[in-house]
Chains A and B, each alone.
Chain A
Amino acid sequence: MENILRLAHQGIYCPAGDFYVDPWGAVEKAVITHAHADHARVGHKKYYAHPDCIPILHHRLGDIDSEPKAYGEEFQLGDARVSLHSAGHILGSAQVRIAVGDQVTVVTGDFKRTPDPTCAPFELVTCDTLITEATFSLPVYRWPNPKSVAEDIFTWWMNCRERRLNAVLCCYALGKAQRVMAELMRFTDESVVLHGAVLPITQIYRSQGVQMLEGRPVEEGENYAGQLVIAPPSAIGSPWIKRFGRHEAGFCSGWMRIRGNRRRRGYERGFVLSDHADWNELVNTIRESGAQKVMPTHGRTDSLVRYLREQDIDAEALETVFGESEE
């Protein structure tokens, strides 16, 4: 980290290349891992990102100066050789590999290794220093097979329909919602009802060739019963939800692994579907990367750091502002 990247006021900075990775303050050159709000912020002069990420960036941030970089395409910034590699997190998400001299540092951004039909699979990149996310870094977090989770969602939907209830499924609007719609294609070709926050992003996904169930906007005056409604979590308890009358609410998130999390938030159903790495994925990725130094960023960094040190891996937490708005 001392060599290739360091923590500056605006974010994680590379002095050799004079650029930042996912900076939170406004900078000249920003390499962006993915389009979630805590990683891609407004105000930079130039955005480097994967081609699939850029339309989402434009949708979220408006008119920005962006330069697409394919996975594996090496480009030079100052003295640094930079390349993006698939992170498996959401469409167009990337890890950033930075080589200066013979030293290699990788910033994972958010990543996962469980299969996801909406994006390219995670690519393992070896390095000397690994800056990894640590959102779910306790061993109680292990993800079930996403196919069986999708089946649970479908069964729940059908079960709600039998009772003439709508099934309102809360998902983050970017990534999770589309993943659910893609996974559900195994079971049905019916359309689902989409909240206004989910609709435009779904259209972007579709225009990039992602196969998903049809999504239709909410129509004023329509009477909904037995439908699957996909909405962001903020919709729960808002006046918007009232139009669906009697319904059950479910939440799709890694946090739903813990029973208390679901009950506290008042959801009838929790579906354990995460776009982040679970404990085993974190530990395996760190091992397989061959890194001599590991720096966990957002999440429960303290437990991961201590665990790694006890495994004789040099680890140190890196305080960032990521992960405050997601999952």
Chain B
Amino acid sequence: MKSFVELYTRLDRTNSTNAKLSAMREYFRKAEPACAAWAVNILSGRRQKRLLGPAQLREWLAESVGLPDWLVEQSYAHVGDLAETAALLHHTVKAASQDGSQYASVEVGLSAWMERLLLLRNLEEGEKRQWIQAQWQQSPLAEGFVKTKLLTGALRVGVSQTLVVKALAQEYDLPTAVIQRRLMGDWQPTAANYLDLIGPDDGRHDVSQPYPFCLAYPLEKDPATLGGAELWLAEWKWDGIRAQLIKRQGNIFLWSRGEELVMHSFPEIVQAAEALPDGVVIDGEILGWTFASDADAQQEMDEVCGKPLPFNQLQRRLGRKKVGPKLLGEVPVILQAYDQLESDGISMCGRPLLERRSGLQKTLSYAVSPHLRLSPALQGSWEYLAGLRHSSRERGVEGFMLKRLDSVYQAGRVKGDWWKWKVDPYTVDAVLLYAQAGHGRRSNLYTDYTFAVWEGEQLVPFAKAYSGLADSEIVELDRWIRKHTKERFGPVRSVEPVQVFELAFEGIALSKRHKSGVAVRFPRIQRWRKDKLVEQADSLTLVKSLVADNAL
């Protein structure tokens, strides 16, 4: 545990990528495989099980430090992190009790610690409480913090999976793509798996194993600078769930980009895949779909044959053990296939896109199902495509994806071969109505905002946004909020309706769950419109007209 706590401290103290890499490499070099496996799991941000709820921990914390509940609450509100609060309070109490500065904690390895945590669930309430309180009381500051973080399943240290993969790749002299592939899917942190992870590259992998997704950067220049349009494949940029469909040895797997198996959520896609030949992996996008009637389909100028449902509809299909017939009828789904990564059990990633696409077309011809289709390839000059791009909104897409026809399928986000050529976001001028303190590093600042638009004489809340302001603006706005608070409701303050902000968002849909009647996608602050008066903010009517623009 000590060495992991030290690693955490080193990672937390630097913003430099190189320093983070060398700290991780040093850790992996010395760590037992079982501990290193857990470190990979934790550092790469895999979801840890939350073993105890925050309410319970707070109660036990107050009892353990012998301070009044309200004071523990105020401390927590001030610090913004429960694990940190627990560690700090125990540190203070320890000093006050003057029982010397020696801590009695016994050194256990990270893996032993994690295994012990998993056994907690077998304990009774009172035993759990005693055990946790003893841990708090025996652990030095940083160790107490990390231990509690692991208990609540939320240790974040400012490294991504990509960086962990890079550190391992450098340390063990392996291609990053190999490590990334091995880590994909349902990777379990065991010593054996860790040794496989860093073992020599022999090309073997298990039947459910997906490939790391190839991702694109946004195109910020004129597409003409990319060379002739004939060198590129243009596709609609669908706004759904990126997924990989795998059929190997008669088994079908459907992975989301979040590396979750989602077969249960989308049975019609799995069923459609039954007809595919064995040993194929398809990269595509799951979309909620409105199928065009035959008559409409006749008139369609391209091969789309219908239109995606808003993302909030697709979301209803997620996180269910079983999808009932009602939902299957209301939100039918399709997989728009982009690419084929494996054919006959052999990786196609090194082959050019043109070849992979023709393979994909052939593969899909086996499955005669409306739920499995080829994402249409769009062809024409850049001028033609630029014109066609204007119809993105009414088609319910975000613009185009551009992929070089001779490009190989790479792992992760790469520049040059793939680009997102998105349409400009929607923008609305809205009024700041409520503010709430942020979490973690922003816990002492009001950084979470609710915005409203006019409906007659009333301001109706319609979007929440966090990001988009510069740090100096956040501080300025925080000060303003504190001075112009109207009311407080717990952690939330209502403020005088004065400040106008330009909000940008990617999508909009009608929603019964929202008071305003609309739900927006990826809202963020574009600009602080200090030049605008509150009366000049936009109306709900205007916002709803954007839905119409986006409608079926």
Binding site for B on A (CB under 8 A): 138-142, 257-261, 263-264, 266, 268-269, 278-280, 283-284, 303, 306-307, 310
Contact = CB atoms under 8 A, between A and B. Distances in A.
Contacts of A260: 79-81, 440-444
B258 to A, nearest CB: 26
B91 interface: yes
A261 to B, nearest CB: 7
A303 B79 contact: no
A264 B92 contact: no
B92 A140 contact: yes
**10 closest Cβ pairs, A-B complex:** A263-B441, A142-B92, A140-B88, A260-B441, A280-B96, A139-B92, A140-B75, A260-B443, A264-B441, A138-B75
Contacts of B75: 138-140
Interface in B24-83: 65, 67-68, 70-71, 74-75, 78-81
Contacts of A266: 471
Nearest to A165: B16
Interface string B425-447: 00000000000000011111100
Contacts of A268: 13-15
B444 A264 contact: yes
B12 interface: yes
Contacts of B443: 260
28 contacts: A138-B78, A139-B67, A139-B89, A139-B93, A140-B78, A140-B88, A142-B91, A257-B88, A258-B78, A258-B84, A258-B88, A259-B12, A259-B81, A259-B441, A260-B79, A260-B80, A260-B81, A260-B440, A260-B443, A260-B444, A266-B471, A268-B13, A269-B13, A278-B92, A283-B96, A284-B96, A306-B70, A307-B68
B516 interface: no
A181 to B, nearest CB: 23
- The listed residue with most A CB atoms (<10 A of its CB), out of B81, B88, B440, is B88
A37 B78 CA distance: 26
B346 interface: no
**At the interface, is chain A mostly helix, strand, loop or mixed?**
helix
Nearest to B68: A310
B95 interface: yes
Contacts of B70: 306
A142 B67 CA distance: 15
- The listed residue with most A CB atoms (<10 A of its CB), out of B78, B440, B445, is B78
A303 B70 CA distance: 9
Interface of B: 12-15, 65, 67-68, 70-71, 74-75, 78-81, 84-85, 88-89, 91-93, 95-96, 440-445, 471
Contact of A142 (B14, B79, B85, B88): B88
Nearest to B88: A140
Contacts of B67: 139
Given A138-B78, A268-B13, A306-B70, A259 B95 contact: no
A280 B92 CA distance: 7
Contact of A140 (B15, B79, B442): B79
A139 B441 CA distance: 19
Nearest to A304: B71
Nearest to B72: A139
A276 B440 CA distance: 25
Contacts of B68: 307, 310
A264 B79 CA distance: 12
A303 B69 CA distance: 12
A66 B341 CA distance: 84
- The listed residue with most B CB atoms (<10 A of its CB), out of A140, A257, A303, A310, is A140
B468 to A, nearest CB: 17
Contacts of A306: 70-71
A278 B96 CA distance: 11
Contacts of A258: 78-80, 84, 88
Contacts of A140: 75, 78-79, 85, 88-89, 92
B67 to A, nearest CB: 6
Contacts of A264: 441-442, 444-445
A303 B74 contact: yes
Contacts of B13: 268-269
Contact of A259 (B15, B71, B84, B96): B84
Given A140-B75, A142-B91, 10 more contacts: A138-B71, A139-B67, A139-B71, A140-B89, A140-B92, A142-B88, A259-B441, A264-B444, A268-B15, A303-B71
A306 B69 CA distance: 12
Contacts of A310: 68
Nearest to A310: B68
Contacts of B444: 260-261, 264
A140 B89 CA distance: 5
Nearest to B67: A139
A307 B326 CA distance: 57
A307 B12 contact: no
A280 B93 CA distance: 8
A280 B441 contact: no
Nearest to A237: B472
A142 B84 contact: no
Nearest to B440: A260
Contacts of B440: 260, 263
A284 B13 CA distance: 33
B95 A142 contact: yes
